[in-house]
Amino acid sequence: MGNKIALITGASRGIGSSIALRLAADGYDIWANYKSNHEAANQLKEKITVLGRECVLLPFDVASSEETDRVLQPMLEKAIPEVLVNNAGIIRDALMVWMTEDDWQDVIDTSLKGYFNVTKRVLFGMMQERRGTIINISSTAGQSGIPGQSNYSAAKAGIIGASKSLAMEVAGRGIRVNVVAPGFIETDMTSNLPIKEILNKIPMKRIGRPEEVAGVVSFLCSSDASYITGQVIAVNGGIYV
Catalytic residues: 152
The answer to whether 36 touches 59, Cβ cutoff 8 Å, is: yes
Q: Alpha-carbon distance 199 to 161, whole Å?
A: 29
Q: Give the phi and the psi of residue 18 in degrees, each rounded to 5.
A: -65, -40
Q: Alpha-carbon distance 99 to 93, whole Å?
A: 8
Over the chain, what HEC string results?
A: CCCCEEEECCCCCHHHHHHHHHHHHCCCEEEEEECCCHHHHHHHHHHHHHCCCCEEEEECCCCCHHHHHHHHHHHHCCCCCCEEEECCCCCCCCCHHHCCHHHHHHHHHHHHHHHHHHHHHHHHHHHHHCCEEEEEECCCHHHHCCCCCHHHHHHHHHHHHHHHHHHHHHHHHCEEEEEEEECCECCHHHCCCCHHHHHCCCCCCCCECHHHHHHHHHHHHCHHHCCCCCCEEEECCCCCC
Which residues on adjacent β-strands are paired with residue 235? 182
